A and B are shown apart, each in its own frame.
Chain A
């Protein structure tokens, strides 16, 4: 995917399996939103297509798609219910069906009293709830959510995650862009990490953790942390460190190395490397690239 002379996405290819929740991870400007827009035909890709069920995707070909874009927006000067019914009808629902669904949804997200209010009278978070409702009202088979919890408080974030989880349980395939690693760990079956428009990691959460060392040793110490051929220092904050063992370096060997070197070990535990740590490791390597827009 090129914008002028800049190549924003390079040779990116991935599968999302039916019924799974797929995490699309990356720092700002890494190409997540651009990839989604290109897949959906909002940007014309230099090359490449989105295939659903083996067929090239067209917005109007009848695929039940729900897309919550990063740039949120609906018709702000119109009443909430009118806008929901309008989109419901465009997505194939009858008028009465769309209205009934919308009222139920508004009840659930505690906005029933706002049905007749214009959208611009709602807070940003409330508008996002409406937009999520519009996104899922046709029971989409493929649900694409670009930072769905952006701007939500913890209570509403939990409500939103519950709704997404329901969609997943009901059989929807979900692609989710997020910076919230706890959301990924709670919901995602598989993930892809993008950096500078290329894939840095791809697979199940466990497989990605394995790609980045899988196991990490958390060490409390009060001396000098020695460098060693047995491990890499993933994090050293003076008194606490996380060590990524190199292949073949067992727990006992690493602990012995630390004690022998006089590190003054006060605690030593084994843990899987967290997605947060992987994220920092991947994106902390250099300055983040600037956002590129066409």
Chain B
């Protein structure tokens, strides 16, 4: 067959195809896929729902904490009136008076006073507080405020112990109320401890967020062409590898947009309203950023994302519609949570067979390896093997996904026969 070398037409003149046409097409696919997702109102409704809810919760906490703070101040100024009996004889009367209490002569009368509301509480200290419980009777102030009675009763015992020991330090040690700073060493260097585990574990959080948010879109990325009957137009217009890689990149970008939107209120809240929002007082100076685990975490995240995207793309290319794809989709997603069944072993005994299986089985490897990387039990050799495995299996699965899309997505109504499709030879080796 031959065609005219040139032609004049009413259609616009077409530039000669550039050598970089594949990159041009990749950019076109990424742009089209990214903007058609992010231009849709429903994308922003779904994406903004989480930060909006977070902001509302923060606002409620803010308002609530303001009123709680005011009432706490009021409570602090309001003295607790109580009576007590002391069968042990260890409570110094001066301490009781200082706390606003007075010794009761008759337990029944003391209890009657509480019931009558003439005093707030009555504490009955037993002969041996180490063996028997202290009985506390109080006027009901609500579940949380009632805790004040127990706190005051215990405080009196602490004061008694301190008076007897004569040393606040020993009293604190005896009560276990002491702070311990631990420093450990690995290969002669101080290791970061729990503070060093946090940054690499953030890649695990990112992995989960991206998979949970984007897995459905990954699945639909190859189903959509089939369901819209657009496969033939695509296959005769651009290379399917370019299409699928473009879709993966656009998904990654969409995921980053969503994560940024989700994190924005948390970051703003932490930076400016930490005290008012009761956010955990994380001392960022304790967080250690170790380059090795960070790099391993990033590569595990990328490899895992590549693998799962390719697997979901392959499923989309095989299945005729989203409904049938969903049957396979559920169990596959469960696999990323399976390592958590062995979380205690992963943390305490990484050499155990089950942890080793989870570390090297491709679909459980990202989560297991990221956990072990975070807690410092993934050796450099294991890191290299798992990262290489994820990228190799990911690329092979991606190629399979492209092959299935090329030869399978034309099968619009039925489920693709994998065996038949895989028997198809590459075009170059087809007979002439």
Query: Chain A residues in contact with chain B, CB under 8 A?
Result: 4, 15-19, 37, 40-54, 58-60, 62-65, 67, 69, 71-76, 78, 82, 86-87, 89-94, 97, 100-101, 131, 134, 136-139, 141-142, 166-167, 170-173, 293-294
- CB neighbors of A among B22-50 (8 A): 22, 24-25, 28-29, 32, 36
CA distance A46 to B228 in the complex (A): 28
Alpha-carbon distance between A293 and B5 when the two chains are bound, in angstroms: 35
16 A-B Cβ contacts within 8 A? A43-B410, A45-B431, A46-B430, A53-B1, A59-B238, A60-B238, A62-B16, A69-B232, A69-B233, A78-B36, A86-B28, A100-B12, A136-B11, A139-B7, A170-B7, A173-B4
Interfacial chain A residues near B424, Cβ < 8 Å: 44
Question: In the complex, what residues of B have CB within 8 A of residue A136's CB?
Answer: 11
Q: Which of A19, A67, A86 contacts B236 (CB 8 A)?
A: A67
- Interface-centre pick from B228, B232, B412 (highest chain A CB count, 10 A): B232
Do A44 and B425 touch (CB < 8 A)?
yes
Q: B238 to A52, Cβ gap below 8 A?
A: no
Decide if A48 touches B432 in the complex (CB within 8 Å): yes
- In this complex, the member of A16, A49, A90, A97 whose beta carbon has the largest number of chain B beta carbons within 10 angstroms is A90
**Contact B237–A171 (Cβ < 8 Å):** no
Q: A interface, by DSSP: helix, strand, loop or mixed?
A: loop
Known: A60-B22, A173-B4. A92 touches B17 (CB 8 A): yes
Beyond A19-B4, A46-B431, A73-B231: 13 further Cβ-contacts under 8 Å?
A: A17-B2, A40-B235, A44-B425, A48-B432, A50-B1, A52-B1, A62-B17, A72-B229, A91-B14, A94-B15, A136-B11, A139-B11, A142-B3
Pick from B36, B239, B430: contact of A45, CB below 8 A.
B430
Residue of B nearest to A98 (CB): B12
Quote the shortest CB–CB distance from A43 to chain B (angstroms): 7
- The interface centre, meaning the residue of B2, B239, B412 with most chain A CB atoms within 10 A of its CB, is B2
Q: Known: A18-B2, A58-B427, A139-B13. Is A92-B21 also a contact (CB below 8 A)?
A: yes
When distances are taken between beta carbons in the complex, the residues of chain B under 8 Å from A48 are 430-432
Tell me whether A137 and B410 are in contact (CB under 8 A).
no
Give chain B's interface residue range (CB within 8 Å of chain A): 35 or more
Determine if B232 and A42 form an interchain contact, defined as CB atoms under 8 angstroms apart. yes
In the complex, residue of chain B having the shortest beta-carbon distance to the beta carbon of A40: B236
Contact A90 B228 (CB under 8 A): no
State the CA gap A243–B28 with chains docked (Å). 60
B6 at the interface (CB under 8 A from A): yes
Give chain A residues whose Cβ lies under 8 Å from the Cβ of B329. none
B8 adjacent to chain A (CB < 8 Å) = yes
* Minimum CB–CB distance for B73 against chain A, Å: 57
Least distance between B152 CB and chain A CB atoms (Å): 65
Nearest-CB residue, chain B, relative to A39 = B1
Contact of B230 with A by CB under 8 A: yes
A131 CB contacts on chain B under 8 angstroms: 233
With a cutoff of 8 Å between Cβ atoms, the chain A residues found around residue B12 in the complex are 93, 97, 100-101, 139
Docked CA distance A36–B228 (Å): 20
- Asked whether any CB of chain A lies closer than 8 Å to the CB of B9, the reply is yes
B208 interface residue, CB < 8 Å from A? no
Flag if A89 contacts B14 (CB, 8 Å): no
- Contacts A17-B2, A18-B3, A50-B1 given; does A170 touch B232 at CB 8 Å: no
Chain A residues near B407: list those with CB within 8 A: 43-44
> With A and B bound together, what is the CA distance between A93 and B16 in angstroms?
10
Per-residue interface assignment for chain B, residues 239 to 272, with 1 indicating a CB less than 8 Å from any chain A CB and 0 otherwise: 1001000000000000000000000000000000
Residues of chain A within 8 A of B231, CB atoms compared: 42, 73
| Cα A199 to Cα B228 with chains together (Å) | 33
Establish whether residues B14 and A52, one from each chain, have CB atoms under 8 Å apart when the complex forms.
Answer: no
Judge if B10 is at the interface, Cβ distance under 8 Å: yes
Q: Are A73 and B229 in contact (CB under 8 A)?
A: yes
What is the CA–CA distance of A16 and B4 in the complex, to the nearest angstrom? Answer: 11
CA distance A37 to B24 in the complex (A): 26
Query: B36: nearest residue on chain A (CB-CB)?
Result: A78
> Do the beta carbons of A47 and B32 come within 8 Å of each other?
no
Contact B427–A89 (Cβ < 8 Å): no
A90 / chain B contacts, CB cutoff of 8 Å: 25, 28-29, 237-238
Interface code B374-417, partner A: CB below 8 Å = 1, 0 otherwise?
A: 00000000000000000000000000000000010011100000
**In the assembled complex, B179 has its CB within 8 A of some CB on chain A:** no
B76 contacts partner chain A, Cβ-Cβ < 8 Å: no
Alpha-carbon distance between A82 and B412 when the two chains are bound, in angstroms:
24
Asked whether any CB of chain A lies closer than 8 Å to the CB of B141, the reply is no
Q: Give Cα A221 to B277, complex, Å.
A: 102
Residues of B near A16 (CB, < 8 A) are 1
B411 adjacent to A86 (CB under 8 Å): no
**Known contacts A16-B1, A93-B14; A67/B432 CB under 8 A:** no
| Smallest Cβ-Cβ distance to B9: which chain A residue | A170
Across the interface, which residues of B come within 8 angstroms of A92, CB to CB? 14-15, 17, 21
B2 touches A52 (CB 8 A): yes
* B323 / chain A contacts, CB cutoff of 8 Å: none
Other-chain contact of B430, A47, A100, A294 (Cβ < 8 Å): A47
Most buried by B among A62, A63, A92: A92
Residues in chain B near residue A63, CB distance under 8 A: 3
Q: Is A71 touching B4 in the complex (CB atoms < 8 A)? A: no
Collect the chain B residues with CB atoms within 8 Å of residue A58's CB: 427
Cβ contact of A171, chosen from B6, B230, B412, cutoff 8 A: B6
Highest count of chain B CB atoms <10 Å: which of A65, A73, A171: A73
Give the docked Cα–Cα distance between A90 and B31 (Å).
12
Knowing A18-B4, A73-B229, say if A44 contacts B411 (CB, 8 Å): no
